[in-house]
Every structure is written in structure tokens, then in C-alpha cells.
Amino acid sequence: MVMLVLVTQIISAQQSQQDVEKKIDDIIKQLTLKEKVDMCHAQSKFSSPGVPRLGIPEIWMSDGPHGVRGEINWDNWGYAGWTNDSITAFPALTCLASTFNPDLAHQYGVAVGEEARYRRKDILLGPGVNIYRTPLNGRNFEYMGEDPYLASIMVVPYVQGVQENGVAACVKHYALNNQEEWRGHINVNVDDRTLHEIYLPAFKAAVTKGHVWSVMGAYNKYNGQHASHHEILVNKILKGDWGFDGVLVTDWGSAHDTKEAAYNGLDIEMGTWTNGLTFSANFAYDNYFLANPFYEMLKSGEIEESVVDDKVRRILRLMFRTNMNMERGLGRINNKEHHEVARKVATEGIVLMKNENNFFPINPEKEMTIAVIGENATKMMTIGGGSSELKAQYEISPLEGIKLRFTKATILHSMGYSSGPSAYGRVIPPHINQDSLYAAAIETAKKADIVLFVGGLNKNHHQDCEGGDRLTFELPFNQNALLKDIIAVNPNVGMVMVSGNAVAMPWLKDVKAMIQTWYLGSDAGYAIADVLSGDVNPSGKLPFSFPAKLNDNPAHYYGELSYPGDSIDQYYKEGILVGYRWHDTKKIKPLFAFGHGLSYSNFELNNIKTDKSTYSAGQTMKVSCDVANVGSLDGAEVVQVYVGKVKSKVDRAIKELKGFDKVQVVANDKQTVNISIDIDDLAYYCTEKGGWELEKGQYIVYVGTASDQIKKKIKISVE
């Protein structure tokens, strides 16, 4: 009976899709050539035209992926000044990735999709899945870390959650947009194997498993051609090999040529007063590459009309999924459930990096004096950062969260430094005297029992911000010196790091404890206080490696041609050895390893085994183990399974993440974890064959709780 119902549902869905395609055929026949072309380019900063004559609506887009951006003016980048566009700010995607919790990724997607739907958006411009290659990339905080498998697993439920609301997710930036420096023109040179094994898997998962309805092209070039209209990336891989049936949208101003855009798969051109960043006039949308120039080439026969018909077909298909879907809901915004999801993601994503002598958690019932030092204790982090900045209904600062939770304590606050106001594309110097802030912080530290230094980066230009990379690996605003002097007068210092990137930590050995908090959105202060007080036992794991020094990172190890390039070209000389793959294989010890994350409890992995020792292509390997919580607090642990090939005929990393599972275990109890890994996923990309090849022979399965915390190695064979 169940099988009959399932078959009926599949047939019904197929018939429904056939009906939609027939309707699209009928609409295309009724459209004029000019109406078709108009649908392929912007009419305002965040919308593309419909066809009022036929009742076809406009498409409205909004920046994401951490929330729905405040309403922007029709034809400039000023905010429209609406009073009803405040939203829930969700944690940045680095935090979501740190949860290692796909169920939470789905809840996140549903919630942010509901808010987009309430704001009447048809496309939410996110999530971002570009790989963390260098800790200087200004947009790393928007992405899901350095590992393609982790990003692939986390992006699918996010996409599905957003699209359950009749809102298209738009996975970005396709592809190889791994830095902001010279992003508009830098030509990335990377071998095919690295492209397919490292930089494409998360996009592929979003398309083939998440069935994402739209994709955003990148600014940069790949092998000499702009990514947003690329013969290989778009026609061959995205729309060919992966069968993407949705809409490819430019990043704003990333189109550069009418014929390339026409023939290489670009569907909607969006921009910024521009036809490829060269034309500057108000209401210049008819001058876009896919506007009047496209229309003239179609009229003359230089471009066949079937080319524009394919674009319009995709756009109409997206409309039937979104704004012409009469069954989609109305959405919700700023409701209790959304804030609960945001807070849950924030608390699960916070990573306990160091905890000497159980410095954390701090007893909230104890009377004491706590000095909260650092500008990040009060600086709003939902604003700034570029296109992902948000107009949050509220934002609880770390200082406010600490004050609300530690009511028995005397809370002192001192800024210590000032970074100046946030501004896109430029740095505005602070107006406050830095020396006086510095001196006041030292005096505040002397008066306290413990110090919580809330520092790190922020979303100003040249930090965690679109449009420019960081200029240094060090903490800005003299924080290293300030920390050193605070520790000299009060050694009881706990570091609360707010950033989306790894930073240099010359003070690490001298602080008692440290948590990595990311950018946590509306409920940031609540979530931080939850973890500091022990109300929540931390369970986050790092989604990227923290190198001890910048040149330990593979992109920087090979010099300027590797990063940032010579302003024209750059070369990914490290190949597939990104992140922990590099540290493991080259035996360069990281400061903190991928997958690292402590707990207030203690866990042991026992009875680790595979279901058998020999496998064949097409089979599934099952890895199991018991996770025992031998501490006194309930908590969660992430079991991580890596696999490496012994004596491979090609260069490989020592090991690669192939499975993980997050499990909640009450104190003095245990849970059994079962992780399934498809043997076919152990294949490498063979450049000679242009496809995936599974090597026979011996492999090693590594099971542990971080890439450098392997508890057992198991040998298996693949026939």
C-alpha cells in the first residue's frame, strides 16, 4: 500500500511538471522578442521585469544568506527607509557549519525562507559555499569552511528548507571566488582535479541533491573566461553534467560580453549602474549586455531566438516554483520560533577552543567582579560586512547577554580600543583617543576577579567584509599588545573571539580559556552567555584549520602568485591540499585543527569498527562506534570519519572527511553511532579520463573527534 502511494505521488509529480512545461511553451509563443529580452536583465537594483500584458510578475531578490536585507532603493544603494523591513539576523554560515548538524541547517533554511517569503522575495541570494582557501578572504564568514564534504552535507538541507517556502535559494558564488582582492578580474588557474574535488562538490550537491532553483555566477575568471558566462563551468558542468534546470544569475555587474552571456548559459543579468562595470548612468538597465545589445543581435539573426527562449523557459520555470505558485504560504517574520532557531544555531556553533583548569563555565550564582573588555562586547555585528549586512529587529550584544545572565556579579566594561564606524569599501578612522581607551582597560582589568576579553575582528573594510581582503593575519587595533598588558595585571583572562576567520594568537598560551563565537546574529549575547555560564555545553567544531602562522596556510606557502596573484593571474599551486589536507600531508602542525572543539564534559569512543573489511564499487561501508559521556554534564560529540588511500597511483591527502555524525549523550551514558559511506565516494577525479575513478587496493579509515584527534585506524580493501 505504501509503495502504491509513493508510485502515485511520483506519477502525479511528473504529470504536474509536464503540465508546467506545457504552460511555459504556451507562454513563450505569446511573448514578443522585446518582452523575452526584458526578462533577462534587471529593471532595478533587486528586481527583473515581468510581462504585465500577460500577468507575468516581476522577480524580486534579496541579499542573504544570514537574513533578508533591508529594503534598498530602486536605482541606488541607499536604504529605502522602510519601517517594516526589520528581520531576524541568523548566525553567519561559518557558525552554521561549525554545528556539524544538518538538521539545524534545515531549520535555519526554513526560518530564513519564511522571512524572505514574508518580505515577498522570490530569490534569496544565498547560501555561499566557496571554499575557505586563505584566512585573509574578507567573505569567509559567509561560507561553510574548507572541506567540500562538510559544505556539501550542510548546504543541501539549507537549500531545501528555504525552497519549502516557495522562495528560490541562490547558491553562490559559482565558482572559485575564494578572495575579494581583485575579485572582478583575477584569472584563477587551477587544475581539473582540484576544481572537481575541492571547489565544485558543494555546488554540485546543492544542484543534484538540493535541487536548488537558482545559482549566482562569480566575478572572477577561470582559465581566461569570466565565470558568470563560462563555457566549461556553465554549459558543460552546471547545465550539462549536473542537469541544472534553474536560473543562472550574475553577481552584480559580473557580465562582460553579450555573445558570451547569450551562448554560455547566463539567464538573468543583474548589476550596479553598469553594463559590466563600464556604463555609469541612472536607469541604465537597457544598456546591460543582455538588454538592448542582446535584442539587436537577436533581431539581426546574429544570435538565434532559441537562445533567448531557453533563458525565458528557465525564468518561467523558476516563476512557477515561486511567484506563480499559488500554493505557497505567506511566510513569517521575527517570531519566537525563528529566534529559537537562531539561538540554537549560535550555541551549537560556538567552539570551545581552550579550557585550562576548567576556567569555563563561569558560575552565574557566584558573587564576583567580571571585567568585560573589548569593543566587540558592544559593537553591532549585524551591520557592515557588505551585501550580507542586516537590519535586525534587535541585536543582543555580548555585554548585554553577560549582564542579563550573571546578575550576581559586578560587571565592569571597558572598550580598550575603537575600530571606527562601518563603511563599505573604505576605512573610517575612529574619533576616540586610543591611548585613553587602552589605559582605561588596564585599570578595569586590575579591579576584576576575572577578565573576559571580547575581541577579534568585525565587519569593517579590510576585516570580515565584502570588497576587500584582510591586510594582515594579526588582530587589528593593537589587541595583541592590549591582551599582553591585561594578562600582566590580571592572569585570569578568558578570550571570547568574535570573527569569521582564523587570526594569529601570540597570547594563546597565556589566556586561561577561549571560545570562538563567529558572528551570531540577533541573539549573539544570549548565546555567548548560554555557553559562558554552562547553561549550554559547547559542541561546535571548527570548519577550517587555524594555522600557527600565515605561511603555514597552503595558499600563502607558495608566495604571491598563489595569493593574491599578480593582479591578472593567480595559481592554486597547493592543488587538492587545502586546509587539513595540507597540514596532515605536509606534517605542518596547525594551531587548531579542522574539526577541533572541546566540551565541558568528556567523551570516549569505544568499539570502533567497520561492518566488514573488503568492499566493491557501489557498496556502502558502515562505520560504528560507541560514544560514552564519562563526564558529569550532558553534552554532544561529533564523530568524524576520514579515509585515506594507501600507496595511491596519484598524489593524495593523507586523509579526507567522508562522514560524520553529531550525537547527544547524557552524563554517564553512551550512544552508538552508525555512519554510512558510499565506497564510490572514495574515488578521485581522473583528468586523463575526465571523470571519477575508484582505485582498487588498501585504504585506511580514521575515526576520531577532530582531524588531529584520531582514536582508531582501520584497514579496508576495495576490490
In Å, how far are 106, 326, 581, 597, 673 from 638, measured between CA atoms? 18, 41, 19, 9, 10
Residue keyed to cell 525562507: 113
361 prior amide bond cis, ω within 30: yes
Strand 656-665 and strand 635-645: pairing? antiparallel
Residue 406: helix, strand or coil by DSSP?
A: coil
Q: Are 625 and 663 in contact (CB under 8 A)?
A: no
Identify the DSSP state of 642. E
Residue 21: helix, strand or coil by DSSP?
A: helix
Q: What gap in Å lies between CA 637 and CA 254, rounded to an integer? A: 42
Q: Which helix (H) or strand (E) holds 441?
A: helix 434-446
Question: What is the end-to-end Cα distance of the chain in Å, rounded?
Answer: 39
Q: What gap in Å lies between CA 375 and CA 419, rounded to an integer? A: 8
Q: Are 347 and 527 in contact (CB under 8 A)?
A: yes
In Å, how far are 226, 324, 350, 546 from 171, measured between CA atoms? 18, 21, 24, 26
In Å, how far are 107, 237, 273, 286, 433 from 281, measured between CA atoms? 42, 35, 6, 11, 41
| 610's grid cell | 567497520
Q: What are residue 592's DSSP bridge partners?
A: 546
H-type alpha helices, 540-652: 554-557, 580-586
List b or e across 636-671, with b for residues whose CB sees 16 or more CB atoms inside 10 angstroms.
bbbbbbbbbbeeeeeebbbbbbbbbbbbebeeeebb
Question: In terms of Cα–Cα distance, which of 289, 182, 174, 280 is closest to 232?
Answer: 174
Can 251 be counted among the known catalytic residues? yes
409 prior amide bond cis, ω within 30: no
Q: What are residue 701's DSSP bridge partners?
A: 643, 714
Phi, psi values for residue 494, rounded to 5°? -110, 130
Q: How far is CA 139 from the centre of its chain?
A: 9
Question: In terms of Cα–Cα distance, which of 300, 221, 234 is closest to 263?
Answer: 234
Q: What gap in Å lies between CA 359 and CA 401, rounded to an integer? A: 19
Q: Which helix (H) or strand (E) holds 404?
A: helix 398-405
In Å, how far are 184, 235, 268 from 44, measured between CA atoms? 21, 27, 13
Q: What gap in Å lies between CA 138 and CA 462, rounded to an integer? A: 7
Q: What gap in Å lies between CA 609 and CA 622, rounded to an integer? A: 8
Residue 340: helix, strand or coil by DSSP?
A: helix
Catalytic position from the list 38, 122, 147, 251? 251
Question: In terms of Cα–Cα distance, which of 135, 171, 160, 130 is closest to 147?
Answer: 130
Q: What gap in Å lies between CA 126 and CA 222, rounded to an integer? A: 21
- The catalytic residues are 251
